[in-house]
Structure 1
Amino acid sequence: MAIERLQKIIADRGYCSRRKAEEYITAGLVKVDGDTITTLGSKFDEDVRITIDNKVLEISTSAKKYYVFFKPRNVITTMSDPLHRKCVGDYFKRLDDRVFPVGRLDYDVSGLLIMTNDGEFANHVAHPRYNFYKTYQALIKGEVKSFQIKSLRTGVIIEDNYLAKAIDAKMVNYNKELGESIVTMVLNEGHKHHVKNMLAAADMELVKLQRTMVEDITLDGLKPGMYREFKAHEVKKFYGKIKSSKETK
């Protein structure tokens, strides 16, 4: 039996991404054969008994699944919520396979969220070093000026003195009657409140935010709360980019 890092075993069983598994481990929520493990470098047999928050983590025998989900606004990006608030998991209760979100969208942000039971896939797509492009559309109060758009491309300072740059940014439309602008941004990273902080740093007052694309995957044909499976060529293309990124590192 192969020996692997604990976070990789958890991801391979389709419970969550490796990065999320690391959070569970360091928080003391993961046990292996009854012993709490908090060291990220710990290695075990792939078939070891694992519990997370006292729930047994079954060895997955399911095929890998990938979904494009149109997350509505005012929905939490979790599979359950102890306070019984509306969450992403509520939309996937009828699935036979357990899936989880790749990355997250804020409670008040709508748009494209990838759902899967493939932990390694999720780890790669969510990690900024693999350069997966994510496109956002923002509704901004007032008329956005060209210098503000330029600042998003050249870089703005956000929290912790970090210089954040958009791969691309455009002013799409200005509605004079409503006094609102529509701006699009393309990023290949996504820290907490990253987009919101960039817009604020560019002196834009955000009204509403939506993620419209991940790479060339769109929300076409979907309404809020709906999802569809990835097509075979879409999965292949994502894995092709992962492989290419690894080879150039």
Structure 2
Amino acid sequence: MTEMDTEGVRLQKVLANAGVASRRVSEDLIVAGRVRVNGVVVTELGSRIDPETDLVDVDGVAVQLDMSKRYVILNKPTGVVSSMRDDRGRPDLRQYTDEWPERLYNVGRLDADTSGLLILTNDGDLAHVLAHPSFGVTKMYIAKVEGRVSPQTIATLTKGVELEDGPIAADKARLLDASEDFSIVELTLHSGRNRIVRRMMAEVGHPVVDLVRRRFGPLSLGPLPVGRARELTTIERGALLTLSRRDGGTEPAADDAPPRTDDPSAEE
């Protein structure tokens, strides 16, 4: 939509409605050249856009205009399966979505015996980017493992180990604590392979005792208690949408489609 269009909604009103800032401050942002529409800087206060089709960002951070989309972060407890309806009657994710009227789905999976960060949303396009390994979204885990992990083992994790389904290397690995009986290891990787952290640690001789996912892309669990869910903040939503717009231009091959959320082989 061009600056001369008379239809649509004034850009400063759109920004104010989206919670970016007051209309007056939004006008200042526009005049300062900090707002883009569809990748083009817009400085004219009379500019109108279509909130349903145009993409807006401020200082390079995407702005959510479609308010029908819901984004929720959950600190999943152990013993809960990553499914909205488990056909075996095990505890599932439905108990954490009663607060929201939309039908939400989980982005990716965590094993029943792994706790931590899960994203729940009704935004299928965003879920596609976040869940599919071809887009390289990183996840950070804290693993309690058996035995004393050595610096050499940490180096091995980042150089790579050979598993039955091929080689894998952590993007980052860090030893947080160690005793004779147990160690605490932080691992960051973008693989979506089944039980990848547990298999990597077992391969280097340190089976996982407890595993928590603390980060997913730009999101962090922070102080969110186990078993609690909350909506993302405006800043968090912006970070996720920015990520999806940056990485969403490359579609995976047809035979490399994202796993269905009810596919148990997709568990991480």
Fold shared, TM-score > 0.5 on shorter chain = yes
Partner Cα distance (1:141, 1:120) in 2: 39
1:1-249 maps to which residues of 2 (within 5 A)? 63-160=68-165, 162-176=166-180, 179-246=181-248
- Residue type of the alignment partner of 1:127: H
Which one-letter code corresponds to 1:153 in the other structure? T
Could you tell me how far 1:213 is from its partner in structure 2? 0.7
Secondary structure in 1 matching 2:199: helix
**Could you tell me how far apart the structure 2 residues matched to 1:170 and 1:138 are?**
11
RMSD, aligned CA: 1.9
Cα shift at 1:241? 2.1
Q: Which amino acid aligns with 1:121?
A: L
The CA deviation at 1:248 is 8.0
> 1:239 offset after TM fit, Å?
2.1
Q: Secondary structure at the match of 2:96?
A: helix
Which whole-Å CA distance do the structure 2 matches of 1:108 and 1:138 have between them?
12
Q: Look up the match of 1:55.
A: none
For residues 1-38 of structure 1, what are the alpha-carbon distances to aligned partners after superposition, in whole Å with 9 as ceiling and x for unaligned? xxxxxxxxxxxxxxxxxxxxxxxxxxxxxxxxxxxxxx
Task: Give the unaligned 5+ runs of structure 2.
Answer: 1-65, 252-268
Alignment: residue pair count? 186
Q: Aligned partners of 1:168 and 1:236: how far apart in 2?
A: 25
Cα gap change, 1:216 to 1:198, in 2 (>3 Å): same
Deviates more, 1:214-223 or 1:187-196: 214-223
Which letter does structure 1 place at the counterpart of 2:215? M
Q: Do the aligned partners of residues 82 and 62 (structure 1) sit closer, same or farther apart at CA in structure 2, a change above 3 Å counting?
A: farther
Determine which structure has more spread, i.e. the larger CA radius of gyration. 2
Change (3 A) 1:83 1:245: closer
Separation of aligned partners in 1, 2:67 and 2:220:
26
* Of 117-126 and 89-98, the range deviating more from structure 2: 89-98
Contact 1:80 1:90 in 2 (8 A): no
Q: Unaligned regions of 5+ residues in structure 1, if any?
A: 1-60
TM-score scaled by structure 2?
Answer: 0.65
CA distance in 1, matches of 2:248, 2:72: 24
CA distance in 1, matches of 2:212, 2:226: 11
Q: 2:78 touches 2:113 (CA, 8 Å); kept in 1?
A: yes
Taking the aligned partners of 2:86 and 2:250, their CA distance within structure 1 comes to 40
- Percent identity, aligned pairs only, is 32
The alpha-carbon distance between structure 1 residues 174 and 130, as it changes in their structure 2 partners (threshold 3 A), is same
Deviations 1:37-62 (A, max 9, x none): xxxxxxxxxxxxxxxxxxxxxxxx98
The alpha carbon displacement at 1:246 in A equals 4.4
Range moving further from structure 2, 228-237 or 115-124 = 228-237
Any idea what SS the aligned residue of 1:80 has? Answer: coil
Q: Using the alignment, how far apart are the partners of 1:219 and 1:241 within structure 2? A: 18
Q: Report how far residue 220 of structure 1 moved.
A: 1.7
TM-score w.r.t. length of structure 1: 0.70
Q: 1:119 to 1:111 in 2, by over 3 A?
A: same
Displacement after TM superposition at 1:191 (Å): 1.0
What letter corresponds to residue 129 of structure 1 in structure 2?
A: S
Shift in Å at residue 157 of structure 1? 1.0
Cα distance in 2 for residues equivalent to 1:73 and 1:115:
17
3-state SS, counterpart of residue 172 of structure 1: strand
